[in-house]
Amino acid sequence: MPPGTTDGAPAGGGPAGPERGQPVRAREIGLRPGQFATGALNAITDVDGVLVGQVTRVEGETIRTGVTAIRPHGGNLFAERVPAGLAVMNGFGKLAGATQMMELGELETPIVLTNTLAVGRAVEAVVDWTLARNADARSVNAVVGETNDGRLNDIRARGVTGADVLAALDGAVVGPVEEGSVGAGTGTMAFGWKGGIGTSSRLLPTALGGFAIGALVQSNYGGALVMDGVPVGRELGKFYLREHADQGDVDGSVMVVIATDAPLSDRNLQRLALRAMAGLARTGAAFSDGSGDYAIAFSTHAGVRRGAAHRAGDASLPDWPNDRMSPLFVAAAEAVEEAVLNSMLRAVTVESRDPATGRRRKGEAIDTAAVRAVVERYRPAQG
């Protein structure tokens, strides 16, 4: 049972057979997108101070959903805000807090990811969590993103509670991040297979600043899956517009969160967030009419935090120059691409029952053994 599961039911439909392969991370089967090295954990938490908490809701035969919370640092974020930028490729989504974040260029609460119909409850919980830590707060801009997990989850049952959001926030920790069919990715689908939560990181060499860049994704979108340049979706026979008729694997959404310890302004963080779309494009994203494609980037650098001195106009902030941003752009795209691959390769099959029809539903995990075989066929020398 995944950590955070709220009852005894397994998230998946039983263990994967050896012929189908077990959940793996991309690098375990020879997929290594890009050129930069990863951090020690190959996770968003390689950016010093970033915490992630998750709660997975699996109840009976119908509830398959959850919450993933990202905290930029372990202190009081409302008092010590961090600069942030937002990029939107296709705006079919319900990203709470977006306009104030764009206007002021900062985060004053953690970022919470969940399902579409849980956004309201999540906002209430983030407000409660923030007010409890700030006696003088009169306005709170809660940032809550979503994707629609209704293909596997009884989304109308409103399974996510405020208590789940508080548990994810309070349980957020540094260190390894669980991936796949967990948290906000419990009921998501991607490219016709099971999607989920995935993460990755990149480290720039000292000559380029020596910064860390980490990404976390909630994958629930479609297109024609490409893994590190290998056309896996085409080879496995599942892709958008196959035979000009298959419309089933394209619509959905994706939330991307990018963290860095580089001293970036909110303007350059917006530019960094936009590069997430390059990473998604490399995975074969269709960016369809019904997809919500969002990326939030923030900096954890102590020098750019917006505490009381900054708000009083008594402090200046460092600002990494524009002409040195390109390596960060490349690293962000690479981390996002690999985070998506990890979200799918680490997922397990999830089964549920449609409460309206009584029919069984299955989000089948991608066959990692088949993916490995495709990769080896395209890259025999790398095996």
Q: Which two structure tokens, joined as six digits, stand for 64?
A: 């398959």
The residue annotated as part of the active site, out of 265, 291, 299, 343, is: 291
Let me know: does 8 contact 1? Beta carbons within 8 Å: yes
Q: Known catalytic residue: 253?
A: yes
Q: What is the dihedral of CA 269, 270, 275, 280, to 10 degrees?
A: 110
C-alpha distances in Å from residue 130, one per residue of 167, 195, 351: 14, 31, 36
Query: DSSP strand E in the chain: where?
Result: 51-59, 63-71, 82-91, 106-107, 111-115, 143-147, 189-190, 193-194, 196-203, 212-220, 253-260, 292-299, 350-353, 360-363
Residue 298, classified by CB atoms within 10 Å of its CB into exposed (0-12), middle (13-18) or buried (19+), is: buried
For 291, phi then psi, to 5°, come to -105, 140
The residue annotated as part of the active site, out of 253, 288, 299, 343, is: 253
The residue annotated as part of the active site, out of 46, 149, 251, 293, is: 293
Q: Known catalytic residue: 293?
A: yes
Q: Known catalytic residue: 251?
A: no
Q: Which two structure tokens, joined as six digits, stand for 234?
A: 């085409």
Q: Which two structure tokens, joined as six digits, stand for 344?
A: 């799918």
Q: How is residue 380 annotated by DSSP?
A: T
Catalytic residues, which ones? 253, 291, 293
